[in-house]
Amino acid sequence: MTPNRTPRWFGSPANFDAATARSNEIDEQLKKERVTIRGTRFIALFGAPGAGRSTFLRQAKLHGSGYNTQEREELGISIQTTVISAIRLILEGASIPDDPTVQLALSSFLEATEPGSDTTNSSVQDQSLLAYRIQELLAVRLIKEVIEASPQYQADSSLQYTMGPIPRIMTSRYTPTDIDILRGKFPPAPPIVEIPFKPPGAWNESPLQTTLVSVRRDNGLQRKWLTLVGEVEAIIFLVDLSRYDQTEYLSETEEELNCIRAAMREFESICNVPLMRFASAIVVFNKFDLFTEQLTRVPFTECFPEYTGPNEPAAAVEYCTDRFQALYCVFGVRQRNIRTWCTNCLDVDQTGVTLQEIMRSIVRLRLHVVWEV
């Protein structure tokens, strides 16, 4: 007969209670993390170079968590640095008229903006002097004409914008506005950018977390990211409508292709990724204002001869929508209808409305899927 044995606890009761409490706390934390991971939904952002992905991400942050004071200060310094570097680069490679007034303003600017010079320090007095030197430089008509005639200036819309409000931007107390953040030029973003994507209105307190993710298009990084997160709930594909009359070089096939047709080809390849088979597709036609203006100069039929509709923005967009819809299938299996919006990502109010409508459609689809299950 086995004698009754009293269980032996190693350590004092107090230590055991503390360890049990700690263990329970860890279990609860792991449970919460599992719920968080399972409740996180991913929306993948795609688009060809120049389609406005970085601007769209900034809009999503502006209308989501927003930029705090520290972030705005850092962005302001980045904008100022970019403006100075661009002006220096243009003037160092330009032919400046041999005029004493012009040469004096140029030498003062180059000396003030020399890396490591006293005026590049962070003190208010030094920054004020630097701002004065730049304003003094741009007040010289010949120098301003040289800058505006340079190919870099003509091709850089962000530099064209920042050159206008130079007196406001180049100050020691400068804090960028929303439009400054949208139109400013910043260093390249990290390979993967994640932005919390909040539902509007009454759904804003939903326990499900939605993250908008943009993955850089190089070295198969997008596909590697997809294998880590599993299935994506929705994809947002940006199309630059204003480039309908331009071509781009495709290194994969070594051919020149119309930009809109190239976007269609990329959209089709994304839809045929197995991990995308349950994703809802959203196509955002960006730069609609420029597209409308461009149609008055270049008819849509010149780039799409098969198009038989009127040379009007709405009809042309409807044609593009039908083309993208025809490509929205996975291995030949037709999916749900795509959702399309026209917007201008530089317009804060208009893009805000677009973002709300996109999120509403995603939430409605989410509720519909849950109801079906």
What is the H or E stretch that residue 203 is in? none
Helices and strands per DSSP (H, E), number in the chain: 15, 10
How far is it, in rounded angstroms, from Cα 270 to Cα 278? Answer: 12
Domain 41-64+197-362 and domain 69-183, same fold? Reply is no
Q: Using the predicted structure, report yes or no on whether residue 121 has a pLDDT greater than 70.
A: no
Q: Which residues participate in the annotated binding site?
A: 54, 286-289
According to the model, what pLDDT value does residue 7 have? 41
Q: Which residues participate in the annotated binding site for GTP?
A: 286-289
Question: Per-residue pLDDT tens for 17-76?
Answer: 666 666 666 555 544 444 344 456 788 898 887 899 999 999 999 988 889 999 999 999
According to the model, what pLDDT value does residue 206 have? 52
Determine contact, residues 138/163, Cβ cutoff 8 Å.
yes
Q: Which residues participate in the annotated binding site for Mg(2+)?
A: 54
pLDDT band at 6 (very low <50, low <70, confident <90, very high): very low
CATH architecture of 69-183: Orthogonal Bundle (1.10)
Q: Using the predicted structure, report yes or no on whether residue 273 has a pLDDT greater than 80.
A: no
pLDDT band at 202 (very low <50, low <70, confident <90, very high): very low
Size of the chain, expressed as the number of residues it contains: 373
According to the model, what pLDDT value does residue 182 have? 92
Report the 10 Å Cβ neighbour count for 251: 7
- Per the model's pLDDT, the better-predicted residue between 353 and 13 turns out to be 353
Domain ranges within the chain, ordered by starting residue: 41-64+197-362, 69-183
> What value does the mean pLDDT take over residues 123-144?
72
**Lowest-confidence segment of 40-49, 175-184, 221-230, 358-367 by average pLDDT:** 221-230
How far is it, in rounded angstroms, from Cα 44 to Cα 215? Answer: 8
**Fold of domain 41-64+197-362:** Rossmann fold (3.40.50)
How far is it, in rounded angstroms, from Cα 79 to Cα 73? Answer: 10
Q: Using the predicted structure, report yes or no on whether residue 299 has a pLDDT greater than 90.
A: yes
Query: What is the identity of the amino acid at 14?
Result: A
Output the pTM of the full model. Answer: 0.78
